[in-house]
Structure 1
Amino acid sequence: MEELLALIALLEIEGVGGRQIRKLRRSWGNLAALWDIKQSTALPPSLQAHLSELPALRKRAETILQTCESLGINVIPYYDAQFPPLLEEVTPPPPILYKKGPHPLIGQPLVAVVGTRKPTPYGMKVTEYFVEALVDAGVGIVSGLAYGIDAQAHRITLQKGGKTIAILAHGLDQIYPPTHRRLAEAILAEGAWLSEYPPGTKLHPLHFPYRNRLIAGLAHVTLIIESRRKGGALFTARAAFEANRPVFAVPGDIFSYASEGTHALIAEQVAQIATSPQKVLEELRTQTEKLPLPNPAPAAEAMPDDPLWAEIYTLTAKAPRHIDELCTALGRSITEIAAVLMAMEIEGWVIQKPGGFVIRGYPPNAKS
């Protein structure tokens, strides 16, 4: 608790960010050392003028934690096991996260789906097409709760019974835009709201680029559906590209302003062309194999006793698999694998999704 208070207090000082926090912790061993400092010379030059402010900063940090507790907000410092490792690769890396909702942020393949606030009917239809297929394959959807494509991505995910994460550019004691309050509340059933700003932080235009880099950083793959030349979605795409994550852009009408940005991303080779969800899922599978999914609840893994069942359960560990892939990998006929999958699904070991995709289940008392 003392270290968390110190982290929050330090972040209340203007100009202190993720990189400096990490440097201080490497130097001190524990950020709680802040409370034992009596001489300003023990602080870095940029912090020496704030020594006298420590009691007030501590009080502010205590208030923030109390507010989080009352609102059901989970505070995740960067050194916590719950902190998503993928976010260490964004620039600058966030020092802390505030999360509301049950989604653990890790353990599920994630795709960021973002785009213009003023989409065309084509853009809305394309978003529905891609998101439905991604959710059916067991993928979680990350977006920013904004008007247009973002809201459509969240909405379709919920309609399909999927999990979605809304990353916000303000404290979690408020929702912007206010008209999306009902949508935001629905997300909390199985998803989450996420921010790097403590409760009480108001929306500011400068927060949006930082929010967008979190969207890109949390996801394994980013998909852009309609963006103008100066849209925020382009910032998300470039942030993903800089973090070495695959970026896809859906081509649109060459005469439409809503597709100028996506076409530019494709022309600059920042984004690959996305004409079907299958291509995104193939890349996602490759990406999740390169960046393994941490287990949000480490435990001794249960395995089916049947060797074939165990092989299928292992193959579906990191990403959705198509039944054709399973047949090829196991050297079995589709008739045999289909029958095995049906039996495994009855006992909870796997879940079969539309389109022939198979994801791993969560059997509490499964028996083979």
Structure 2
Amino acid sequence: MNLSLQNYLFLGHYLPLPLSALRIIEETPSHPFHDFKKLNKQEIEFELSNLGNRKRVSIRNIPKKVNNIENLLKNSIFDKIVSNLEKWKELGITIIPYFDDKFPLKLKTIKNPPKTIFTIGLSNFDYSKSISIIGTRKPTAYGAQMAETIGLEFSKRGFTIVNGFANGVDTLAIKGCLKAGGKVIGVLGSGLLNPYPKENVELFHEIINKGKGFFLSEHLPNDSVKKSTLATRNRISSALSIGNVFIEGSTKSGIRYQL
């Protein structure tokens, strides 16, 4: 990747710029934003306007973004990113930007792909035989039994179980998978250092420490969960699987973003 990781995270996650703009910067090694800290306010506004005038690039409220860059730099956010990169690496977190060769092809082809994925746990994971088992956070007794049984049976047949690691069906399917000695992929709606839900923190660490799978998030590791991110993560778990098994849920369920 041509753009440095710290610049990519600053521009993509803190400013933030859309992926279409990041692509232009990445594909243009001479672009001034490769060293944006040297630019003055007028130069930053000029470059943002140039990006916004490109085909298929939409940058809203450019004056606000110019001020954002100034404020972020004044608050030493860039320096914090550099410091955090070292800390995250020590904690076993892998950072894979969209333009990295290791970025999963399955995620590149979806609508609104993540700019970056952060992972922790098993590396060099094979996504080719993954199934998503999902459903309500409050299953009936029958639904709970089915979730665990289906997770177990798919795992016996060599499938990796993928879901959003939510309470209820998601967790039960994962537990069934682990009983069969299978592997799991948990897609979080929070950062990896703030795993959600809190009831699953122990299970989160068990999966990582015992090499039973890995967790993935499109959010910065220190980010907390939001209602909106719980819905949008579903497109990722769906993309990583070859199919979805839906076990109970209402028509208003966040799962509608996945199916």
When the two structures are superposed, what TM-score results if normalisation uses the length of structure 1?
A: 0.59
User: Is the radius of gyration larger for structure 1 or structure 2?
Assistant: 1
Contact in 1 for aligned 2:25/2:34 (Cα 8 Å): no
Residue 201 of structure 2 is aligned to residue 181 of structure 1: yes
The superposition leaves residues 51-79 of structure 1 with CA deviations (integer Å, 9 ceiling, x where unpaired) of: 53574342132133123123211111112
Partner Cα separation in structure 1 for residue 125 and residue 10 of structure 2: 25
Matched residue type, 1:93: P
Partner of 2:234: 212
Structure 1 vs Structure 2 CA RMSD: 2.4
Aligned counterparts of 1:29 and 1:225: Cα–Cα separation in 2: 51
Tell me the distance in 1 between the aligned counterparts of 2:95 and 2:146: 35
The residue type paired with residue 231 of structure 2 is P
Change (3 A) 1:16 1:209: farther
Contact 2:151-2:175 within 8 A present in 1 as well = no
Task: Report if aligned partners of 1:76, 1:96 keep a CA contact under 8 Å in 2.
Answer: yes
* 2:99 alignment partner in structure 1: 79
Are 2:53 and 1:52 equivalent residues in the alignment?
Answer: no
Query: Which residue of 90, 98, 112 maps to 1:70?
Result: 90
Tell whether the 8 Å contact from 1:171 to 1:198 is kept in structure 2 after alignment: yes
Question: Matches of 2:91 and 2:229 in 1, distance apart?
Answer: 22
Distance 2:127 2:231 in 1: 26
8 A contact 2:149–2:176 mirrored in 1? no
3-state DSSP class of the match of 2:99?
Answer: coil
Structure-2 change in CA distance of 1:32 and 1:40 (3 Å): closer
Deviation at 1:41, TM superposition (A): 4.6
Task: Give the direction of change, closer, same or farther, for the CA distance of 1:34–1:225 in structure 2 (3 Å limit).
Answer: farther
Kept in 2: contact 1:119–1:149 (CA 8 A):
yes
Task: Provide the C-alpha distance between the structure 2 equivalents of 1:184 and 1:82, rounded to a whole number of angstroms.
Answer: 24
1:119 lines up with 2:139 in the alignment: yes
Structure 2 residues not aligned, in runs of 5+: 50-61
Is residue 11 from structure 1 mapped to residue 29 from structure 2 by the alignment?
no
Q: 1:17 to 1:141 in 2, by over 3 A?
A: farther
User: Structure 1, residues 261-315: CA drift from partner, whole Å, max 9, x if none?
Assistant: xxxxxxxxxxxxxxxxxxxxxxxxxxxxxxxxxxxxxxxxxxxxxxxxxxxxxxx
TM-score w.r.t. length of structure 2: 0.81
Aligned pairs, number: 237
Structure 2 Cα separation of the partners of residues 213 and 131 of structure 1: 20
Please list every run of 5 or more consecutive structure 1 residues that lacks an aligned counterpart in the other structure.
Answer: 238-368
Q: Is the 8 A contact 2:96 2:118 kept in 1?
A: yes
Please say if 1:109 is aligned against 2:165: no
Q: How does 1:1-368 map to 2 (within 5 A)?
A: 3-28=4-29, 33-35=34-36, 38=39, 39-45=43-49, 46=62, 47-53=65-71, 55=73, 56-188=76-208, 189-237=211-259
- Answer yes or no: is the 8 Å Cα contact 1:64–1:198 preserved in 2: no
Distance between the aligned counterparts of 1:4 and 1:42, measured in 2?
A: 23
Q: Partners of 1:42 and 1:169 in 2: how far apart?
A: 35
Q: CA deviation at 1:10?
A: 1.0
Query: Contact conserved, 1:5 with 1:62, CA < 8 A, in 2?
Result: yes
Q: Distance in 2 between matches of 1:184 and 1:168?
A: 11
Q: After TM superposition, give the deviation of residue 221 of structure 1 in Å.
A: 1.5
Q: Deviations over 1:61-120 (max 9, x none)?
A: 213312312321111111222211100122211111110101434454111111000111
Distance 2:18 2:114 in 1: 7
Residue matched to 1:267: none
CA distance 1:19–1:141, change in 2 (3 Å): farther
Aligned-pair identity (%)? 26
Read off the aligned partner of 1:229 and give its amino acid letter: T
